[in-house]
Structure 1
Amino acid sequence: MPADTPPVPSAIPADDVVVAFRTQNSNIRGRLVRLGATLDQIVVPHAMPDLAGRALSEALALAALCGSALPQGGNLNLLMRSDGAVSILVADYTASGRLRGYARYDADKVAALAQSGARPDTASALGNGHLAITLDSGPGQERYQGVLAFENAPLSATAAAYFQQRESLPTFIRTAVAEQYVATREASEPGTRWHRRAGGLMVQSVGTSVDEGASEQDDDWKRVEMLAATVEDIELLDPALTVERLLLRLFHEEAVAIERVIPLSSFCRCSREKVENVLLAFGATELSDMLDDNGKIVVTCEFCTARYEFSLDELRSAGG
C-alpha cells in the first residue's frame, strides 16, 4: 500500500489572525478570527475574575471581526455599558490588526454569579444596557456611531442585530471563548500554564437588504447562514483545525475564496509623556490631592495596566 501523504502545512497562522473570505457560488462575505497569545497579552495583566475576562475576550474577538471589514486604515471602537456585573467593556481595533481593551466590573456581583451554581454565561454578566459601535473609515472620512439597546443578550447577538436593524445587512455572528492549560517550555516555569483562547465567525449578505423579500439572493443568504450556524465552539477555538480546513468543512459547496489575511497584535497608546501632559493641565492644589502615602502621583493605564509615577517636583520641573 502507498504511504499516507503527509499533511500540507497551513499557509495561515493558527492563532492571532483574521481571515476575510467570500463564498463564490453565493457571494456572501465572511470573516473568521482566532485569538491566542494576543488575547493573553491584553487580558491577563488585568488579573480579573474569569467571568469578566471571558466578557472582555468576547468583545475583543467581536472588535476584530467587525473592524477588519473596514477599508485599510479604518478603526473601530466597541463600547458596552450595562447595569450588570460587568458594567463597561471597551475594545478597539485599529489598522492593521491591532487590538486593545479593558473591562470594569463589580467584584461582588461577579463573585455572586460565579457562586450561583452553573457556570454563568457572559449574557448574565452584562444584564441590560447599550452597545455603541464607532466606525472610522480612515483619513478624510466622517466617523459614524450606532447604538443599540440589549437585554440579557450575548454581545455577538447584539452586534448582529445592530447590522441587521441599523445597516440593513443580514448578519450572522458566533463567538466562543475558552481557557486551557498548555505546556511551558521555560526551565524556570515547568509544567503547564493557564491560557485563554477566543474565536469567532461572521458572515454578511452585503448585497442583500432585509426588506427585499424572497429572491435568489435571499435564498443564497439563508443557505449560507444555516451552514454558518452549524459551527461549534471547539471548531472556532481548536488551533489544530486549520482555518482552510474549517472553511472547507462549513462551506465546501459554496466554493470559498480567501481574500485577505490580517495578523493580530496587542497595542496601547499610553506613554509617560502623554500622562505627564494630562497631569500638567491640573492646578497645584489638585495635584497635591492626588498624592499617595508615598508622596507620589500614580497613574495606571486602563488598557495595558502600565504604571506611571510622578513626584510634584518632577511635574513642576516639566511645567516650567
Structure 2
Amino acid sequence: MENALQRFLFEHVNIRGELVSLDSSWRHVLERRTYPNSVKRLLGEVTAATVLLAATIKLDGTLSIQIKGHSALQLLFAETIGSTSFRSTAKWNEHEEMNLENINLLSGGSIAVTITPKTSGQPYQGLVQVQSESIQESLENYMGQSEQLPTRLWLASNDQKASGMLLQKLPGKDNIESDDWQRINTLASTITDKELLSLDFDTILKRLFHEETVRLFDDSPLSFMCSCSEKRTDGMLQSLGEAEVRSILSEKGNVNITCEFCGKNYIYALPGIDRIFSGQSSDPIQDFHGSIN
C-alpha cells in the first residue's frame, strides 16, 4: 500500500505497532528543493517518524518534530496535520561535508516534539538533547521519558520512499509481558532498510511475525499538504510591523514571501500592504504559484 499508515496489534500481548510508507507524497517533498544526500536521508526518516508518533495519540491538530543541530544542519522540521497529511523541510549551511555519507548531522543538537491542538487546549512541547548519532534512538529516548512507554523505531528513506515501523509496549503487570516485549523486538530488529523500502505491509508483517497472532486495522491514506495560506502570511507580515514591511516595500518594490514547504510565492505590492495594515479582507487566491496582491 502506497502513501499509507498501517496499524496493527499483537493479540494476547500488550504491544501495538505501526508501519508507514510514503511514496509519491515523499517525492512531492523532494520536488520542491534539492537537498544534499545526508539531509535528504535524515529528513525522510524524521518525516516517517512524525507520522508514526502522531498515530500513537488521538490527534486533532498537529504534531511536529524539529531538530536544531550544532553542525552544518541549521534546522529540520516535519509536521503531521491530523492523521492524513504531512509536510517537511530543512535548512543547512553550504559545506562540502554535507555530501559525506557518514556525516553526523545530529551532533550537539536538540529535538523538540510539539503537539498543537486544533481548537482548545495549550500546545505541549517536549525537548530532548541528542545523545546518539541515530534519530531512532534519540526519539526512543524521548518517548521513554515523556510517555513512559517503551517504544522502538526503525526508519529508512531514499530518493523514492520514506518508510518506518514503530512498536510500543502498552502498560502491563508482570515479567511475562517483558519477555513478550523482548521477543517481539528481537524479531523486529531483523528488518533491513532495503526491506522497509521495498516490501509491502503484509509481506513485512509475515516475514517478521509469522509465528505471532497479529490483528490488522484498516490502513489510513496519507498525502503531502501544506497549511500555508494568505491569512497566515498576512499575519506574519503584521508581526514584523508596518514600519519594517513598508521599508522592505520601498527598497525592493514588493514584498516576496516563499513558503519553505511547498514553494508557493506570496507577492505583495503597495495595495496588498495597505490592505493588511488597514484590516481589510482580500479575495480568495486562485493561482497556486502566483502573486496574490
Q: TM-score of the superposition, structure 2-length normalised?
A: 0.86
CA contact (8 A) 2:132 2:138 kept: no
TM-fit CA distance, 1:78? 1.0
Does residue 207 of the first structure (1) align with residue 205 of the second (2)? no
Cα deviations across residues 72-101 of structure 1 (Å, max 9, x unaligned)?
525311111120221211111121221012
Cα distance in structure 2, aligned partners of 1:55 and 1:157: 13
Matched residue, 2:14: 27
TM-fit CA distance, 1:203? 0.3
Query: 1:76-225, aligned counterparts within 5 Å?
Result: 76-108=63-95, 111-114=96-99, 119-120=101-102, 124-136=104-116, 139-140=119-120, 143-179=123-159, 196-208=160-172, 215-225=175-185
TM-fit CA distance, 1:281? 5.0
Distance 1:319 1:162, change over 3 A: closer
Distance 1:287 1:138, change over 3 A: closer
Percent of aligned pairs with the same amino acid: 28
Cα distance in structure 2, aligned partners of 1:92 and 1:167: 19
Distance 1:22 1:113, change over 3 A: same
Q: Which moved more, 1:290-299 or 1:245-254?
A: 290-299
2:220 to 238, 259, 262: 262
Cα distance in structure 2, aligned partners of 1:219 and 1:281: 54
TM-fit CA distance, 1:158? 0.6
Cα distance in structure 1, aligned partners of 2:50 and 2:270: 39
Matched residue, 2:272: 314
Distance 1:140 1:311, change over 3 A: closer
Cα distance in structure 2, aligned partners of 1:73 and 1:287: 34
CA contact (8 A) 1:74 1:136 kept: yes
Cα distance in structure 2, aligned partners of 1:256 and 1:288: 61
Question: Helix, strand or coil: the match of 1:107?
Answer: coil
Distance 1:274 1:141, change over 3 A: closer
Structure 2 unpaired stretches of 5+: 279-293
Aligned residue pair count: 278
Cα distance in structure 2, aligned partners of 1:283 and 1:177: 41
4+ residue runs of structure 1 moved beyond 4 angstroms? 136-142, 280-284
2:234 to 270, 276, 279: 276
